[in-house]
Amino acid sequence: MERKAQESRKGLTHREVPRVVGLLLAMALMNVVLYLCFDRFFISPQHSTKDPRSCPYGYFKMGQMKNCSPWLSCEELRTEVRQLKRVGEGAVKRVFLSEWKERKVALSRLTSLEMRDDFLCGLQMLKSLQSKHIVTLLGYCEEDNTILTEYHPLGSLSNLEKTLNLSKYQNVNTWQHRLQLAMDYVGVINYLHHSPLGTLVMCDSNDLPKTLSQYLLTSNFSIVANDLDALPLVNHSSGTFVKCGHRELHGDFIAPEQLWPFGEDIPFHDDLMPSYDEKIDIWKIPDVSSFLLGHVEGSDMVRFHLFDIHKACKSQNPAERPTAQDILDTYQKVLNLLRDTVMSQTREML
């Protein structure tokens, strides 16, 4: 009795020590399990912001494909792809609806060897920039000057009005969906301005129809950039700026700094033409967004709410223009605001 009392006064008995250690181990194990659970539930949003279709470099997934497949090689392009009909053509590529393993795909062929450098630049960009903002690359063959991409039956943004006027798309021909398209478009520009390669400028866009032809409308009504042949790199810290081509540009779709600044008395000379930065893309956003908003019920209300940000995009001084992210944030705010207004009006009517 005396000894027992002494032991309990001293603290834990020899028999109790392993039990406590076990308890501590169990608690530690519980913590690990809880940590893993929390990690799954609370850190997963980080994963979910990634494109669910994304594959490692050199692989692709499209449509209902479950697994990523490696980009098709020259041999596979030659033997497995069946060219069907021409669906588009530009200065660099002739594009054919084609078939690969019973799937519709787009096969682009170089139009003339003179344009090969642009074609290869575009291919390099497609390879480096694969994301939800860019058309999916399925394969390429430099030897044959061919590129295979995912086919989008709704074609380029030039067809938008025609498509949305079809009766089967009436349900998406609303200011909400159209504003969402404008957000997709600005999202692509924002991605290019913060791309894995640095700040890229969408040069192939000297007028509205040309600009629209460089983007495709997907079947689920989002926008992807397709023609990446002219995306020069700006680097503010090293003082690297760009010029979109070597010829004189005209019109008010392009940014003012893209115009010849020395008047008619001095003939245009590329060497004298000053270079510029990615803010030329920002200047063009109001015109593209306005086209995307179209003329449906509510479009003008959206335009009214975007007036200030669009005015800022048209600042003569490029540095005073907002960033693509600023514009995206404003579009999102306007979408939320107008959605709330419409909802409360509907509630009042009921």
Q: Which of 201, 225, 231, 221 is nearest to 213 (CA)?
A: 225
Q: Is 160 a binder of ligand ATP (CB under 6 A)? A: no
Chain-centroid distance of CA 295 in Å reads: 25
Residue pair 61/53 in contact (Cβ under 8 Å)? The answer is yes
Residue 70 CA to residue 77 CA, distance in Å, equals: 12
CB 155, min distance to ligand ATP, A: 5
Q: Which residue in the set 98, 145, 146, 156 belongs to the binding site for ligand ATP (CB under 6 A)?
A: 156
Residue 296 CA to residue 75 CA, distance in Å, equals: 49
Q: Is 152 a binder of ligand ATP (CB under 6 A)? A: yes
- Which stretch in 71-79, 146-154, 220-228, 245-253 sits in contact with Mg ion by CB under 5 A? 220-228
Q: Is 206 a binder of ligand ATP (CB under 6 A)? A: no
Residue pair 217/160 in contact (Cβ under 8 Å)? The answer is yes
Residue pair 183/328 in contact (Cβ under 8 Å)? The answer is yes
- Residue in the shown chain whose Cβ atom is closest to Mg ion: 227
Measured from the CB atom, the residue of 112 and 332 that comes closer to ligand ATP is 112
- How many residues sit in the footprint of ligand ATP (CB under 6 A)? 23
Measured from the CB atom, the residue of 92 and 201 that comes closer to ligand ATP is 92
For Cα atoms 195, 285, 238, give the angle at the middle one, nearest 5 degrees. 40
Q: Is 187 a binder of ligand ATP (CB under 6 A)? A: no
- How many residues sit in the footprint of Mg ion (CB under 5 A)? 4
CB 307, min distance to ligand ATP, A: 30
Cβ atoms < 10 Å from Cβ of 297: 9
- Which stretch in 87-95, 124-132, 195-203, 252-260 sits in contact with ligand ATP by CB under 6 A? 87-95
What is the x/- site pattern for ligand ATP, positions 122-141, by CB under 6 A? -------------x------
- What phi and psi values does residue 228 have, to the nearest 5 degrees? -110, 30
Q: Is 322 a binder of ligand ATP (CB under 6 A)? A: no
DSSP secondary structure letter of residue 275: P
